[in-house]
Homo-oligomer: A and B are copies of this chain.
């Protein structure tokens, strides 16, 4: 849970590794605080980060750098797919990933399946630039459990993006082999998935577990990362899997021109950043790719 302490909002989770970290941001104003059916929801305004959304004591969205995570979650998979028309986002109730998905001309339909309606309501109010994606005619918002929703889908989506609440306890069902199996079934031929992949320092063993079972299900699996000052370790990972053995995550199928980047208002993502995000520090690479880079 977050601790409001005078001018500070301190993110202090009970969950390892975050139980050993306290990440405080000075508030200008507390804007919202409630306990929904699923979690504690806090929004505050700050000088350094702009408006900040905190769920169960972990920063989820900060205006300062929300574009980093959202651009990468959308552009990494979509630029590795030849022609993504139907995209499913599980979680993502803030609308940020959907916003970036909708910038891709091939996309005809985006389904956002968010379990907590309160997150959507709060984001519409305090993060209108993210939640604007919900008013696009191509977007369908489903309030429900992504795990159950996934079980009913078969060959329905070109790309599935899992953008869970960070706290593993609540989102546990989105990080296991059963769920990845459901995603695989829900994909059209040559489909691919992108999941929030945790950080590579404190949660390396968790990432390793994700990659181990993903490799049993998908012929191509890769881990990349991006720099995000508003998340406590300062970076966030992305796990990508493809049912198409010819997919190369390291080399995007679609590269963007300077003009396309400007039109799509991309502040973080570029084709060079795409390639660079998969270049991992030595010690991480050895751990995550024990047999070399064959599967990327």
Is A86 an interface residue, CB under 8 A from the partner?
no
* Stretch of A101-109, A122-130, A172-180, A231-239 lying at the B interface: A231-239
Q: Please tell me how many copies of the chain the complex holds.
A: 2
* Residues of B with C-beta under 8 A to A12: 24
Chain B CB within 10 Å, residue with most, of A24, A267, A268:
A24
A281 touches B17 (CB 8 A): no
* Chain A 257-296 per-residue mask, 1 if CB under 8 angstroms from chain B, else 0: 0000100001111101101100101110000000000000
Size category of the A interface is: 35 or more
B229 touches A233 (CB 8 A): yes
Taking CB as reference atom, which chain B residue is nearest A233?
Answer: B229
Alpha-carbon separation in the docked complex, A201 to B201 (Å): 21
Alpha-carbon separation in the docked complex, A26 to B21 (Å): 6
A22 touches B10 (CB 8 A): yes
* Residues of B with C-beta under 8 A to A68: 281
* Chain A residues near B (Cβ < 8 Å): 8, 10, 12, 17, 19-26, 46-48, 64-65, 68, 199-202, 225, 227-229, 231-235, 261, 266-270, 272-273, 275-276, 279, 281-283
Q: What are 16 A-B pairs at a CB distance below 8 A?
A: A10-B24, A17-B48, A20-B47, A22-B22, A22-B26, A23-B23, A65-B201, A225-B227, A227-B227, A227-B235, A227-B281, A229-B233, A231-B234, A233-B234, A273-B279, A276-B276
